[in-house]
Structure 1
């Protein structure tokens, strides 16, 4: 497994949280032999996490809502390592609002980070991938996009992640002839920094009882699927979405 991604260069966005999907994904790629660039909008958080993982991991501060910042990041990675093979669009936020309470600022914020951020970062790496004739883009969507929310996040969160699924399919269709694969991952209820305090004990028991596998998901559960989609093990997959939800939403 340590040679699965040898000589590959991977970017993972939103990887500054110590108990998040992004950091778990970065660790999985690093363990498979990749050189990994991790990003986060919080100043200094990604460089700190990178130092904890290993010598072949570098951390950068990047706001994915800023296309110029995304392009500058891609250039830094290319200057450092000469190539970009995989992008994992993980940066995202959630927000709980009833539909009548969603303000324009709330809607714009979630769309900017969750959907426009995925577009910006993809646009930043596509030229380098196209020049090599290969690449893999993995976008983290959500079970909320499939079932209209219902756990954490309001309708605008579900809409932003539904947009991610549409973006993935559109990019996969357009970029396939250039050798670039684009796929999505739909996590279910994964306990991370973002939602660890979202449920009281009664609600936690209620949700777990509805999950066929009998537990909440862990960031590592999603990371393994991202590694699969980024590697040649999934070489004939594009425009696909993989559910990582323990069976809470079977469709």
Structure 2
């Protein structure tokens, strides 16, 4: 099928049409809370059906119950490092809504450790979830998108650590995120012929439940002093950019990263 069928000129479309996701289905991993939930809410607001894929069943169901139109929301228990779970996520979308059009790889783990103290199992699990999880879920989603024949969007919530180090103690985490930054480029090349775009969003420090074990309110205030725009990021800051990439506003973008950090990395690593 010619690529022009996927990427028709948007010149005649209005802004509201370009951002309308009505009839589309999006699966968001790690969407029970934090950035993933912020992303899911914005995609849902734009009209998309949502599959909340999360390892925490209870949290996913609680999050789903908060949506305004729960008929357009489903949940599925998903450990992204397991291929069978990635496939189950896709099946949930197709069984409930007939298709999968958008995948947002958001699930990830974060455990700080100085390089010389780094435990092999911590490093291995970080790579399994943060890097291989993206590969496995993207594979499962892309195969379905190709079968559908109508293109698609794969968006990964990556990290500023894939661009520049921001804090010490994240060697293994940074390795996983640099891996994703490299992987999406080749994925984008291979999937372009099928009308599937592949892009990353790279948040800086973001106020989520996952940040609490690593940074108290005082720590957040110190971080904000290092951010040129003067505040820490919020899940909706990321949700807005993911919505852009999921919409036809970004139809001619693939294989790239958008940094959303308030300028944080401009001031270098925290040592």
Give the TM-score of the pair, scaled to structure 2.
0.87
| 3-state DSSP of counterpart to 2:21 | coil
Name the counterpart of 1:16.
32
Taking the TM superposition and a 5 Å limit, the aligned residue runs for 1:67-106 are 67-106=83-122
Q: Is the 8 A contact 2:166 2:265 kept in 1?
A: no
* Worse-superposed segment, 22-31 or 126-135: 126-135
Structure 1: runs of 5+ lacking an equivalent = none
Name the counterpart of 1:34.
48
| 3-state DSSP of counterpart to 2:66 | helix
Taking the TM superposition and a 5 Å limit, the aligned residue runs for 1:122-141 are 122-131=138-147, 132-141=149-158
Q: Is the 8 A contact 1:48 1:59 kept in 2?
A: no
Equivalent residue for 2:207, pick from 191, 211, 216: 191
Once residues 59 and 260 of structure 2 are traced to their aligned partners in structure 1, the CA distance between those partners, rounded to angstroms, is 27
| 3-state DSSP of counterpart to 1:73 | helix
Q: Is the 8 A contact 1:221 1:244 kept in 2?
A: yes
Q: How far is the alpha carbon of 1:166 from its aligned partner?
A: 0.8
**CA offsets 1:190-221 (integer angstroms, 9 cap, x no match):** 01011134234554333212211100000000
| 3-state DSSP of counterpart to 2:80 | coil
Once residues 183 and 166 of structure 1 are traced to their aligned partners in structure 2, the CA distance between those partners, rounded to angstroms, is 11
Q: How far is the alpha carbon of 1:100 from its aligned partner?
A: 1.1
Name the counterpart of 2:8.
none
Q: How far is the alpha carbon of 1:236 from its aligned partner?
A: 0.1
How many residues are aligned here?
248
Q: Is the 8 A contact 1:51 1:58 kept in 2?
A: no
Q: How far is the alpha carbon of 1:77 from its aligned partner?
A: 1.3
Structure 2: runs of 5+ lacking an equivalent = 1-15
| 3-state DSSP of counterpart to 1:239 | coil
Taking the TM superposition and a 5 Å limit, the aligned residue runs for 1:157-168 are 157-168=173-184
**CA offsets 1:103-146 (integer angstroms, 9 cap, x no match):** 11011110011111111111111122112241000011101122
Alignment of 1:173 with 2:189, yes or no, is yes
Once residues 111 and 149 of structure 1 are traced to their aligned partners in structure 2, the CA distance between those partners, rounded to angstroms, is 19
**CA offsets 1:83-120 (integer angstroms, 9 cap, x no match):** 11100000001011000111110111100111111111
| 3-state DSSP of counterpart to 1:80 | helix
Q: Is the 8 A contact 1:189 1:217 kept in 2?
A: yes
Q: CA RMSD in A?
A: 1.7
Once residues 97 and 84 of structure 1 are traced to their aligned partners in structure 2, the CA distance between those partners, rounded to angstroms, is 37
Equivalent residue for 1:50, pick from 41, 51, 64: 64
Alignment of 1:60 with 2:80, yes or no, is no
| 3-state DSSP of counterpart to 1:100 | helix
Give the TM-score of the pair, scaled to structure 1.
0.94
